Structures are given as structure tokens and as C-alpha cells.
Structure 1
Amino acid sequence: MSIWWSLHLRREAASVPLARRLLLGTMETAGVDPDISFDLSIALTEACANAVEHGGATSPDGSPGVYRVTAYLDGEKCRIEVTDSGPGFPAARTARPRALRAPLMAPAQPDTQAENGRGLCLIEALADHVHVRNRPGRGAVVSFDKILKWREDALLKAS
């Protein structure tokens, strides 16, 4: 069984729950275990929030730019990609080995932007594999995979 969909969304906060609901609905219909669906929906929310906040300049007409969300359920795995057209991630964020990146619950630093990078750390904690592709000046792609578990009554269970 394979399912995929792709959305082009305006960089507006209202687009984030739309992507999350579509993912949850797809997974529920396919018969994915609710705990796996929940983890992936939180990871998708974080990736979309990053795209909305950092994803690029406004369109020539002054409206927010766009970002793309693509989800693939293929056999036993789900892969989600969120692509924006912003400045990309700082080189230090994508160049450090995973083990050296900021911990999820890093103590807040009063004189810094303490929340920067926490979304990516949360995605790393919820997914089995995370890849950040930096395209300086042309945006970033955050993709993450998770092995699927199926409900007993799943109609579309992978074989």
C-alpha cells in the first residue's frame, strides 16, 4: 500500500493545523497506530511552524510566501518533507553531529533566543530518521521518517 499527497500552503499560522489534520486523517483511514500518528503529527506541526516563521519573504503582491508539505506512506514507513524558500538554516545548526545538538529541554538563556532549534530537536526525538537539507538563500528541506505500526483492524495494512 502506498499513499502520498502534497500541499502548497501559504506561510500563515492557519495553514499548520490544516496540514496536521490531513496527515492525521490519512493515517486514521489507512489504519496506522494512533501513537505513531500522534508523534508524526507533532513533528509535522513543528516543521510547518518553522516554515511559517522562517520560510522566506512575502510574495510580490505583499501576501505571505508559500511552503510545501509532502507525505508518503509507503509500506511500513512514512516520510514527510517540508520545503520552504527562506534563507535556510544557520550552517552551525546543520553541520553539528546529532549527538552534539542542543538537548530538548535545554535551560532557557535570558539573553538569547532560547527557543531556536527546539522544534528540530523535537522532530529528532519523535522520528526515526531526520534529514535537514540546507539551501542557503533558497530555503531548507526538513524530511523525517518513521516506521509505521498498524491497528489490528487496519483496512490498508501493509503486507
Structure 2
Amino acid sequence: MSIWWSLHLRREAASVPLARRLLLGTMETAGVDPDISYDLSVALSEACANAVEHGGDAEQGGTSEAYRVTAYLDGEKCRIEVADSGPGFGRPAPVVRRASSEAEHGRGLCLIQELADHVHIGNKPGRGGAVVSFDKILKWKKDAPLMAV
């Protein structure tokens, strides 16, 4: 069984928990193991927070109003993508390094890499914007209603 959904969210802090709750609800209904669901929801929160903070359109003075979240639960894997319309990451793609323990920013991408099995960080082709996508192999609760066969 496959499930997918896509959201266009305003670049406001209140959009982050909305995306996280939708993901958690989808995974709970499908019967995904709670530890896997939690890891993915934290990674999603970090990616959304980055889009809210950095995802403005540089040509419009950093005021792009929305970003997109897409989630796919397909077979044994979940893939999540967060894309914005901001200036992107620049060239070449960023190298993710651990932030110092005193840093107030800069931990999100590192945390996503720790929680997911595969991470891709890059820019949208064409007009620009950042894209963060990540995958995780799913584990299922016993007798999960939508468990992959």
C-alpha cells in the first residue's frame, strides 16, 4: 500500500507543528513503529523550520509566502521532501558539519542526517530554492493495518 500527501504551507512558525502532526497521524494510522515515526517527525520539523527561516525569495526581499512538504509512504520506505522558494544553498551543495555545543543555530541538517537513512540536500532546478529530502526504512507494529506486504 502507498500513501502520499503534499502540503503548501505559509512560512510561519505555526506551520511546523501542523506538518509534524499530519505526518505522525498518518504513520500512526498506517501502523508504523512509534520510534520510526518520532525520528521522521523530528527530521521533518527541522526541515520545515529551515524553510520558514531561510525560504524567502531573494528577489522579493525574502518574503516568499509558502513552502511545500511532500511525504510518501511506499512499501518499506518513507520519503519526505521539503522545498522552498528562497535563495537555495549556493554552489556547491553544503557540507553538513556538526555545530558546536554553544551554537544557537546550525544543527538542523546534521540532526536530519542522524535520524534518516538517506538525505539529499540541494537546490531546485530553474528559479531556485532549497530542497531537503530524506528517506527512512519503515518498521511496523504487529498487525499494522497498512503494513507493506
Question: Normalization by structure 1: what TM-score?
Answer: 0.84
Give the count of matched residue pairs: 146
Q: In structure 2, what is the equivalent of residue 107 of structure 1?
A: 101
Question: Highest CA radius of gyration, 1 or 2?
Answer: 1
C-alpha distance in 2 between matches for 1:118 and 1:158: 33
Write the distance in 2 (CA, Å) between the matches of 1:140 and 1:46: 14
Equivalent-residue separation in structure 2 for 1:144 and 1:38 (angstroms): 14
Q: Which residue of 1 aligns with 2:25?
A: 25
**Structure 2 residues without counterparts, runs of 5 or longer:** none
1:147 CA drift (Å):
0.1
What RMSD over aligned residues (CA atoms) do the two structures have, in Å?
2.2
Identity within the alignment, % = 74
What is the letter of the counterpart of residue 67 of structure 1?
A: Y
Q: Which runs of 4+ in 1 moved over 6 A?
A: none
In the alignment, the residues of structure 1 paired with residue 47 and residue 17 of structure 2 have an alpha-carbon distance, to the nearest angstrom, of 12
Is this contact kept in 1: 2:11–2:64, CA < 8 A? yes
Aligned to 2:148: 158
Give the Cα–Cα distance (whole angstroms) in 1 for the partners of residues 4 and 144 of structure 2.
18
Which of 108, 114, 127 pairs up with 1:125?
A: 114
Segment of structure 1 superposing worse, 135-144 or 6-15: 135-144
User: Partner letter of residue 50 of structure 1?
Assistant: N
Amino acid across the alignment from 2:140? W
